[in-house]
Each structure stands twice: as C-alpha cells, then as structure tokens.
Copies of this chain bind each other. A is one copy, B any other.
C-alpha cells in the first residue's frame, strides 16, 4: 500500500477490491431484475406493475450509482481533481434522477390503488434518506462545485461531506432491506416461513445488498487508499486558492 506522499500510484490490492464491489453491485441490480421478472410479473408504467419500477429504480439509483459515486475518488487517482469531481457529481445526478423516477412510480401507484402513503417504517426511512440526499446535494454543490467557497471553508466541510455521504448510502441500503422485507411479508405472509424460492432469492438479495455496502465502505475506510493530492493541487493549496482544480474564487 502506498504512503500517500503525493506520488500518484495505485495501491496494489485496491483494483481487486473495487472490481469485487462492482461484481457485487451488478449482481444486486441483476438479482433485483430477476426477482421482479420471475416472481412479480415484470415492469411497466401503465398497470399494477408500476409498483415494480420503484425497487428497481431505487436499487440502481440510490444504491448502485450512489455507491459508485462514493468510490470515484479512490478509482480515478491520476486524473485532474476537476475531472474526478465532475464524475462524482454526474454519477450523483444519475442516481438522483433514477431514484426520483422510482419515488414517483410508488406514489403514483399508491394513488391509483387508493393505498395510504408514508405509513411504514420503510417509507419513513426512505423519505428521510431522500431528504438528506437532497440536502447533501445542495450543500455539497454550493461548497465544492460553485466557485465561491474558500479553500479553508471547503477543508472544514469536507470531512462532514464524507461522513454524511457514507451515512446516507448506508441508510439507503437499510431502507432497501426494509422495503424488500415489506414486499415479502405483504405477499407471502405466513408462507414466508416455508422459505420457498422467492423468499430464498429475496433473502439472498438482501445479504448481497449488505455485502455491496460493506465492500464500498471498506474501500472508503482504508486511509492509505485515499486519492493523494497532485502536485498542482498542492501548489494551489499553498496559495490558499481553491483545491478544485484551478477555479479561483470568482472565476465563474
């Protein structure tokens, strides 16, 4: 593992952990699709299958893409900071749009079916995580992408951004597990106890969701795997100018 002294090298085992996390993430997406296709009749917008848009979009948006957005600074180590930052923001844009579609799908489905909204623990956690995600977006954007924030403000906010980013990701996975459980219990009821094929597949999906979260967080938690500052960024930080790849305050 590298010592993080400013040389842009890649720690030798990092690519394997990242590849493993991607394998887990793609398996989670594929398995969610398989569950909805095999046991829930597939996906459509204009029928009762509209509900199924919800789990698929939330898993792709708030779990797979959000998780990958967190990994960007570990994976892209040699690119300019601005490029990495834009990719981080873009992945979060896709995550936000796709999960918004998933949210609209379930509210629209509830409205058509006359079901109550926002009564379950899953919905409470889901709305909490989505609200926190929007706040994190707005605050993150104004500190790191908008060119007005000073270097010292950014440095003080960065650890908070990282902590809340990881917390929102974990909470997303927790909300997904609650939703999966709810979908199983509503449909299977006492038959859940027989652990039929749908229950086994969905339980395995739940464990895989946890494994993807653990793999992403493990990569994030390794201090030696952080993206080292590049030479020009160090020079900029000594100038007390922005770390954001060259945009000085007011350069718009």
Residues of A whose CB lies within 8 Å of any CB of B are 115-116, 119-122, 124-125, 128, 159, 163, 167, 170-171, 173-174, 177-178, 180-182, 184-186, 189, 192-195, 199, 202-203, 206-207, 210, 214, 217-218, 221-223
Q: How far is the CA of A199 from the CA of B121 in the complex (A)?
A: 8
Copies in the complex: 2
Closest B residue, CB atoms, query A218: B163
Known: A177-B178, A222-B159. A207 touches B120 (CB 8 A): no
Q: Is the CB of A206 within 8 A of B159?
A: no
Q: How far is the CA of A217 from the CA of B177 in the complex (A)?
A: 20
A39 to chain B, nearest CB (A): 15
Q: How far is the CA of A121 from the CA of B147 in the complex (A)?
A: 46
Q: Is the CB of B116 within 8 A of A193?
A: yes
Q: Is the CB of B125 within 8 A of A207?
A: yes
Give the residue of B121, B193, B214 whose beta carbon is less than 8 angstroms from that of A115. Answer: B193
Residue numbers in B under 8 Å from A116 (CB-CB): 193-195
Residue numbers in B under 8 Å from A189 (CB-CB): 189
Residue numbers in B under 8 Å from A119 (CB-CB): 192-195, 199
- A-B pairs with lowest CB-CB distance, top 8: A119-B195, A185-B185, A116-B193, A121-B206, A121-B203, A163-B221, A124-B203, A174-B174
Q: How far is the CA of A245 from the CA of B185 in the complex (A)?
A: 51
Contact sample, A vs B, 29 pairs, CB 8 Å cutoff: A115-B193, A116-B193, A119-B192, A119-B199, A120-B199, A121-B177, A121-B180, A121-B181, A121-B184, A121-B206, A121-B207, A122-B181, A124-B203, A124-B206, A125-B206, A125-B207, A125-B210, A128-B210, A159-B221, A159-B222, A170-B170, A174-B174, A174-B177, A174-B210, A178-B178, A178-B181, A181-B181, A185-B185, A185-B186
A182 to chain B, nearest CB (A): 7
Q: How far is the CA of A181 from the CA of B167 in the complex (A)?
A: 21
Residue numbers in B under 8 Å from A194 (CB-CB): 116, 119
Q: Is the CB of A210 within 8 A of B178?
A: no
Q: How far is the CA of A67 from the CA of B163 in the complex (A)?
A: 17
A14 to chain B, nearest CB (A): 15
Q: How far is the CA of A28 from the CA of B206 in the complex (A)?
A: 25
